[in-house]
Amino acid sequence: MRWEGNEQSDNVEDRRSGGGGGFGGLPIGGRSVGLGTVAVAVIAGWIFGINPLTLLGMMSGGEPPAQVQQQGPAQKPPAEDREAAFVSTVLRNTEVVWSDVFRQNGSNYTPTRLVLFRGATQTACGAGQAAMGPFYCPGDQKVYIDLSFYDTLSRQLGAPGEFARAYVIAHEVGHHVQDELGVTGKVDQMRGRLSQAQNNALSVRVELQADCFAGVWAHHSQESKRWLDPGDIEAAMNAAAKIGDDALQRSAGRAVVPDSFTHGSSAQRQRWFGAGYKTGKIQDCDTFAARSL
């Protein structure tokens, strides 16, 4: 992926030094969020034993809102930080692509902000921790990532490559696109009326749509910039396969239980990323209307 020298986003906050607001003991709780939009990576669910739905339940409900501690001014990443530059470049391209896509569909796109943190940080959705993997918080409309996740993705999960890393960012931005389109609110309204199995199934559709939106971004990004090398799309497909619920359950030594899926199987994640990449149309990402995933 030939990304060096391209424009970088100004919507990146660097909290890794603590100057932009650290964890500070912020408790989880009190903020109502949409199911699946706090996109806890499935590696958290099956390698670290965290159920994403349990986290969502703790982040919503009848408790008073968590008090977010005052943060200092948002800091920019150091100019010489290559990983941060990569993330900033990919984020900027998502801003350009989604602004164009929304404009073509008669709407306006408000970009998300991306927060780099180390270990833990405070969010409007409660405590954000590295073990959760990258996630999107609709409460503050920000994407959060501890860049050590990329080492996990490459070394532990077997999904190397810069475009695999770009896919991760694009997926989380896809959750922000859902928020912008009103999907998040509609899903949140449904969540309380469903059983656990139905909630899981709904979460899968939310996550697969974010994968499809990542494919839509990749389509338009490559069409305009021609910055992908041979094998880049395959790297993203490989990443999608490695973080499928079935693959992660197997790698954790668990039985594969489809009713427990919250993000989709490897084949489903590949299929929906591929669907978005093939046409570049958000209309082809309606996972909620699909009879078969």
Q: Split the chain (293 residues) into runs of 10 and give each run's mean pLDDT.
A: 95 81 32 33 36 40 39 75 96 98 96 96 92 92 95 92 96 97 92 90 96 98 95 95 93 92 96 97 96 94
Q: What pLDDT is stored for residue 21 in this prediction?
A: 43
- Separation in Å, CA 136 to CA 114, 140, 150, 170, 267: 9, 9, 17, 11, 23
| Beta sheet of 135-137, edge-to-edge order | 12-14, 113-116, 142-145, 135-137
Say which DSSP state 258 is in. Answer: G
The owner of tokens 């992908």 is: 228
Residue type at position 13? E
Q: What pLDDT is stored for residue 1 in this prediction?
A: 95
The answer to pTM > 0.75 is yes
The owner of tokens 């991760």 is: 168
Distance CA 246, CA 13 (A): 34
Residues facing 114 on adjacent strands: 12, 143
**Residues ≥6 apart with Cβ < 8 Å to 114:** 9, 11, 12, 13, 87, 88, 91, 142, 143, 144, 145, 169
Q: What pLDDT is stored for residue 18 in this prediction?
A: 64
Query: Which tokens hold the place of 40?
Result: 């806890």
Strands 126-129 and 135-137: unpaired
Distance CA 293, CA 287 (A): 7
Distance CA 18, CA 193 (A): 40
Q: Can you list the alpha helix ranges (DSSP code H) found in 157-195?
A: 162-181, 183-191
Q: What pLDDT is stored for residue 71 in this prediction?
A: 52
Query: Which tokens hold the place of 85?
Result: 């530059």
Residue pair 114/15 in contact (Cβ under 8 Å)? The answer is: no
Distance CA 77, CA 86 (A): 11
Q: What pLDDT is stored for residue 72 in this prediction?
A: 53
Number of Cβ atoms within 10 Å of the Cβ of 185: 13
